[in-house]
């Protein structure tokens, strides 16, 4: 029985509209790094980076090595073991057990990747090899859960950020809009945000410079084990009772 290691490397990335200034960007989205398989089975399909576990290495050492060697991703802000995928028929042919990892790359970092490798929106995945789509979705769900009760946002954010930027990162990762005011209130109450005392450069439209913050710790910590971030409750449309008029005598 063979043993492989795979990594669902996630990053919140922005799309720069064609013809726009490099500082201008479109909406942020959570993306995963995939490469095209060059061998059968499933040749040409998109798959998670990784490979076989060497006899002289543990699983985390293996996946870090393979990400650095095969897709040149060395700037991981967080790595954790996700799950073991061991269904007997998960790949055709001889049985292969996979240990999957969640890896995070902070926003603003743009690793140079090979031509056969690309970032794909997690919510609009292409056709993938084997059970790799299920692994990506498991990684997405793990990230969303931990954003509720840990400080894992540090691994998505650049070293310094405005609250507007952090709101965009959380919204993209969670899959629903987040209020910057509420986010700042929650993270500040947990002691996770540190004001830098500096401000961001004003954008092309000018305006008041925004304050810059950083996370207090660059390592994952459980901050509120019972917290759950939930999508905003839709507002019900206002209803107006019809005034009843007495019949005219």
> Three-class SS of residue 138?
helix
In degrees rounded to 5, what are phi and psi of residue 7? -130, 125
Q: What is the pLDDT of residue 26?
A: 73
Q: What is the pLDDT of residue 236?
A: 65
Count of residues for the chain? 249
Q: Is the dihedral of CA 71, 75, 81, 83 positive or negative?
A: negative
Indicate the Cα dihedral angle 98, 102, 103, 107, nearest 10°: 150
Determine the distance from the C-alpha atom of residue 182 to the mean position of all C-alpha atoms in its chain, rounded to a whole number: 20
Q: What is the pLDDT of residue 25?
A: 66
Topology given in CATH for the domain delimited by 2-142: Nucleoside Triphosphate Pyrophosphohydrolase (3.90.79)
Nearest of 96, 134, 103 to residue 4 by alpha carbon: 96
Nearest of 70, 85, 75, 173 to residue 133 by alpha carbon: 85
Scanning the chain, the segments in alpha helix (DSSP H) are 59-70, 132-149, 163-174, 180-189
Report residues of the chain scoring pLDDT below 50: 18-24, 241-249
- 137 DSSP 8-state letter: H
Q: Which two tokens stand for residue 105?
A: 């790359």
Per the omega criterion (within 30 degrees of 0), is the bond before 41 cis? yes
Domain boundaries, the chain: 2-142, 152-215
pTM of the model: 0.88
Q: Which CATH class is domain 152-215?
A: mainly alpha
Q: In this structure, are residues 118 and 110 in contact, taking their beta carbons and an 8 Å threshold?
A: no
Return d(Cα 240, Cα 86) in angstroms, integer: 58
Q: What is the pLDDT of residue 245?
A: 47
């Amino acid at each position: 029985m063979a043993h492989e290691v795979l990594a669902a490397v996630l990053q919140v990335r922005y799309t720069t509209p064609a013809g726009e200034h490099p500082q201008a960007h479109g909406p942020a989205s959570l993306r995963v790094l995939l490469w095209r398989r060059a061998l059968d089975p499933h040749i040409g399909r998109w798959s998670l980076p990784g490979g076989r576990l060497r006899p002289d290495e543990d699983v985390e050492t293996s996946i870090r090595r393979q990400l650095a060697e095969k897709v040149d991703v060395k700037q991981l802000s967080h790595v954790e073991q996700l799950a073991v995928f061991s269904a007997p028929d998960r790949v055709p042919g001889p049985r292969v057990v996979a240990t999957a990892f969640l890896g995070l790359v902070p926003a603003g970092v743009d690793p140079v990747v090979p031509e056969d490798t690309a970032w794909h929106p997690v919510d609009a995945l292409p056709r993938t090899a084997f059970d790799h789509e299920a692994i990506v979705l498991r990684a997405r769900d793990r990230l969303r859960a931990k954003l509720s009760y840990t400080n894992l946002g540090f691994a998505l954010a650049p070293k310094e950020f405005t609250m507007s930027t952090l709101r965009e990162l959380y919204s993209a990762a969670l899959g629903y809009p987040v209020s910057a005011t509420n986010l700042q209130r929650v993270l500040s109450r947990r002691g996770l945000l540190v004001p830098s005392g500096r401000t961001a450069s004003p954008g092309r439209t000018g305006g008041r410079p925004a304050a810059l913050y950083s996370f207090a710790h660059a390592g994952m910590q459980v901050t509120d084990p019972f917290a759950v971030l939930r999508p905003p409750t839709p507002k019900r449309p206002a209803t107006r009772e019809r005034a009843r008029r007495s019949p005219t005598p």
